[in-house]
Amino acid sequence: MDVLLTGSSGFVGKNIIQYLGNEYRITSFFRNQEIIVNENVIIHLAGKAHDLKNTSNPDEYYQVNYELTKKLYDAFLASDASRFIFVSSVKAAADVVDGVLSEDISPNPKTHYGKSKLMAEEYIRSQPLPIGKSYYILRPCMIHGPCNKGNLNLLYNFVKKGLPYPLASFTNKRSLLSIENLCFVIKQIMEKDILSGVYNVADDDALSTTQIVSIIAKIIYKQPKLWHVSPQLIKLVAKIGDVLKLPVNSERLTKLTESYVVSNQKIKKQLGKNLPVKAAEGLITTIKSFHN
């Protein structure tokens, strides 16, 4: 089976190549080249990621996340390829989750990132699907894995420096997604007879940020310093950070303290299998890569 892969130079793309490379012939597609589809499967990862600093031109999101997806999907429909896998985001459904996020929610994204991803999803779902073809819209939550930089690395550096974690008063649960579990799901979709549709992708268990801090501390042989500072005071500091462009701002605070629990039951039911990596196990693997 041949695979056309977009976004091959990114974190997920590199892991997909490593995960599938021994069994599948993978061709990388880059944004400015002519779209020619000779492969059996398209895995579309390329996109403009959410900019926490809010410095991006909004048009860039729609050009990359919507227009490129539209062109690729049109090429897929006109080709002999049988499967189109689009890696979207849970942010196409909701920026804030009350309870548990399932695929049944009526999407209501607030950011240009989420809106552009949703536009791409809606375009895919609106097109007549020829017999013999399938599409899969995957909505992963926060993806992590060895050497992936992001909020986990920010927390790691906090703990490594011996700094106290001042957000222990926030009670939250967040779904994470190990890169190995995402690669596993994509490979299963390529190999099994699964219904076209939208699927959330997340690890089985949600973890609190305080739990994550404690896991980091254990890995680097430190005692976790958990401070229970007033949430109101912390939010005030974050607002000051918004104005002064400090590393701690309201959006990053929300990332660290909000509850965002994602159901993976729909995709697991289709796969008929459990995901290979437990949430805590995947997190430990990621943090150890920072520590080594």
pTM for this predicted structure: 0.90
- Residue 250: Cβ-neighbour burial (10 angstroms; 0-12, 13-18, 19+): middle
The b/e string for 118-130 (b: 16+ C-beta within 10 A; e otherwise) is bbbbebbeeeeee
Distant-in-sequence, close-in-space partners of 180: CB < 8 Å, separation ≥ 6: 15, 19, 145, 276, 277, 282, 285
Q: What is the mean pLDDT of the chain?
A: 92
d(CA 121, CA 195): 16
Nearest in space to 184 (alpha carbons), one of 153, 140, 147, 148: 140
Report the half-sphere exposure of 120 (CA within 13 A, side-chain side).
37
- 202-219 per-position pLDDT tens digit: 999 999 989 999 999 999
- Model confidence over 9-43: pLDDT tens digits? 999 999 999 999 889 999 999 887 889 999 999 99
Strand partners, 176: 142
Distance of alpha carbon 89 from alpha carbon 217, whole angstroms: 30
Q: List, for residues 129-171, the tens digit of each pLDDT value.
A: 999 999 999 999 999 999 887 778 888 988 999 888 888 898 8
Q: Over 70: is that where the pLDDT of 83 sits?
A: yes
Residue 51 pLDDT greater than 70, yes or no: no
User: Is the CB of residue 102 less than 8 Å from the CB of residue 200?
Assistant: yes
| Segments making up each domain of the chain, as ranges | 2-148+175-205+262-277
Q: Could you tell me which of 218, 287, 175 has the C-alpha nearest to residue 226?
A: 218
CB atoms within 10 A of CB 173: 16
Q: What pLDDT score does 187 carry?
A: 97
* Predicted local confidence at residue 274, as pLDDT: 93
**Res 153: pLDDT:** 87
Q: 85 with 42: CB under 8 angstroms? A: yes
Q: What is the pLDDT of residues 88-134, one digit of tens each?
A: 999 999 999 989 999 999 999 999 999 999 999 999 999 999 999 99
9-26 CB burial, b ≥16 within 10 A, e <16: eebbbebbbebbeeebeb
Q: What is the pLDDT of residues 230-289, one digit of tens each?
A: 989 999 999 999 998 877 788 888 877 889 999 999 999 999 999 999 999 999 999 999
List the CATH code of the domain at 2-148+175-205+262-277: 3.40.50.720
